[in-house]
Amino acid sequence: MTLKTNIYRFLFISILGTLLHFTYEWSQNNAIVGLFSAVNESTWEHLKLLFFPMLFLTLFELFFFRDRLPKNFLQVRTYGIFLGMGLIVVVFYTLLGVIGTSIDFLNIALFFVAVFFALWSENKQYRNSESKKETSSTAFSILLIFTLLFFVFTFLPPDIGLFWEITKVC
């Protein structure tokens, strides 16, 4: 993928992800908006800020640019999404353990680094992937399952740390 394409992708994901941090509150806690937005300050809800913009971008690219995309596009995009989300979880809890508190500036920077890392890892996969075969059904299933998990856990979160608001963790 070209640098220009990746800059557009980075900007789209970053801007939409940032907006999704606030849209639930702006919508006066509309449940439909809450399915895609962060409804509280838990790590799980903040993963939506990367997941859904990348999912929406994926759907847009599949709809409008399907002919120009590599056969393994959906597989590689899914890989990028999960690496980005994994980075957020690992680095956030590492910083929380080392520093002992959540610092907004670092969390915001972590989000942008995770977006960059997700896109960088996609590009690395495209260049290094020996398998150019299409594995869309598995990737689609994984994205669908995680979409459903985000929807269900938005309003019925398990009582474990990933779903706790940051104030409860600290």
**DSSP conformational letter for 159:** S
Asked if residue 38 has pLDDT above 90, the reply is: yes
CB-based contacts of 70, cutoff 8 Å, min separation 6: 76, 126, 132
Which whole number is the average pLDDT over 42-59?
97
pLDDT at 135: 67
**DSSP conformational letter for 165:** B
What CA–CA distances, in Å, run from 154 to 31, 35, 41, 62?
Answer: 9, 6, 12, 27
Q: What is the pLDDT of residues 108-148, one digit of tens each?
A: 999 999 999 999 999 888 777 655 565 678 899 999 999 99
Q: How many domains does the chain have?
A: 1
Token pair in block for residue 89 = 């979880």
Q: Could you give the angle at the alpha carbon of 89 between the alpha carbons of 105 and 146, nearest 5°?
A: 120
Round the average pLDDT of the chain to a whole number and report it: 91
Beta-bridge mates of residue 143: none
For residues 117 and 120, give the distance between their C-alpha atoms in angstroms, rounded to a whole number. 5
pLDDT at 55: 98
% of the chain at pLDDT higher than 70: 93
Residue 102 lies in domain: 3-169
Q: Tokens 């896109």 map to which residue?
A: 119
Give the pLDDT band of residue 170 (cuts 50, 70, 90). very low
